[in-house]
Amino acid sequence: MSLISMDFKKYSSIFLLSLLVSCQTIKEKELQGIQGFALGTSYSILYSASASEETVFERQVDSIFEILNQSLSTYIPTSDISKINQGDSVLMVDKHFVKVYQKASEVWNATGGYFDPTVGALVNAYGFGPGKPLNKISEKQRDSLLDFTGWDKTSLTPQATVKKIHPNVNFDFNALAKGYVVDVLADFLRSKGVTSFLVEIGGEIVAQGKSPKSNALWKVAIDDPQQGGERELIQILSLNNEALATSGNYRKYSVNEETGERWVHSINPKTGEASPSFVLSTSVLAPDCMTADAYATALMVMPLEQSKALIEKNPQLEAYWIIAVSLGGMEEIFSKGFLKK
């Protein structure tokens, strides 16, 4: 499932250059924007501003991506997170790493450990990937991997250094870093006096104010996972100064040939087991995108009834699940306030 801005549909081409490229400017009478490729995916920023502001914004957006990549990207060997994964225990991390670490701790606690950015070793061992069968790992192998899996095996000191109980514990903030970058870009626009904007990175979105084209709340659409060749939309939402993030595996499912049932495999970070799940995708509305991003990931892993209860008791969150059912069908489940948005 992907999320697209209704205002941005005609600018949705993707520039496959490198991890970080310069921005491209979009100009319309009422709508200004920047699009490009960063963090391994496409991004777009829409806002209303004068032509003189656009050039400044392009340079500053590039600079923001460079700073955040240097802190949080596991694809850069010299980044802070890579150095920590390599065993650096004296490095003082920057404010961005601290904020992401603190949010990860918050969501890990709230989800009872189902959200865990140290699960990467298990993911790699099982060989998760599109079109790939899962590797079979023994109980002994699984127990060994669990020795260095677990958020509670890490800590952030008052001096902003990171401690790990086991040297092989590795961090991977992919489940919330995109959302955090969206938030940073949104804060940047606010600091420049922009009151109406939409920021999107790889489907993670923050919207504020109204679209200058329609003078209405920004609208975003969720793709129908059962669409054929033509793009079909399953839900359209108006975002009212809030964030929307999604997580999904519906293009990576297995099928029971006898019953037609579809399922995806998810890893329980507490047991290390890869078990089938009928949750194909989740979307979460939250006040900020890092929170939405983290919870969308967590809801994919948690048992469905537990995830529904979690959302119900948190008044700042709304959620939408797509569940696989027999004969190739699907069921949609909404929290109480999701469709009111």
Which pLDDT does position 152 carry in this prediction?
96
CATH class, domain 3-73+176-239, is: alpha beta
Strands, E assignment, 83-187: 154-156, 162-164
pLDDT tens-digit profile, the chain (341 residues): 333 333 333 222 222 222 233 345 555 546 788 898 888 888 999 998 655 555 568 889 999 999 999 999 988 999 999 999 999 999 999 999 999 999 999 999 999 999 999 998 888 788 765 455 667 889 999 999 999 999 999 999 999 999 999 999 999 998 999 999 999 999 999 998 899 999 999 889 999 999 988 889 999 987 765 555 566 677 889 999 999 998 876 555 555 555 555 556 678 899 998 777 788 889 999 999 999 999 999 999 999 999 999 999 999 999 999 988 776 678 999 999 998 75
Q: What is the pTM of this model?
A: 0.86
Integer Cα distance of 7 and 3 in angstroms: 12
Distance CA 282, CA 341 (A): 16
Q: What is the 3-state secondary structure (H, E, C) of 15-72?
A: CCCCCECCCEEEECCCCEEEEEEECCEEEEEEECCCHHHHHHHHHHHHHHHHHHHHHH
How many Å apart are CA 126 and CA 16, to the nearest integer?
28
Cβ neighbourhood burial of 334 (10 Å; 0-12, 13-18, 19+): middle
Q: What is the pLDDT, as a whole number, of residue 141? A: 92
Question: What was the pLDDT predicted at 122?
Answer: 86
Short-list 180, 181, 186, CA closest to 208: 186
pLDDT value for 126: 80
Closest by CA to 320, choosing from 208, 329, 304, is 304
The segment(s) of the chain belonging to CATH 3.10.520.10 are: 3-73+176-239
CATH architecture of 85-172: Orthogonal Bundle (1.10)
Q: Which pLDDT value is given to residue 16? A: 22
**Nearest 10 degrees: Cα torsion 77, 102, 61, 203:** 90
Show the tokens assigned to 169: 């514990």
**Three-class secondary structure of residue 260 per DSSP:** coil
Rounded-to-integer distance, Cα 317 and Cα 337, Å: 9
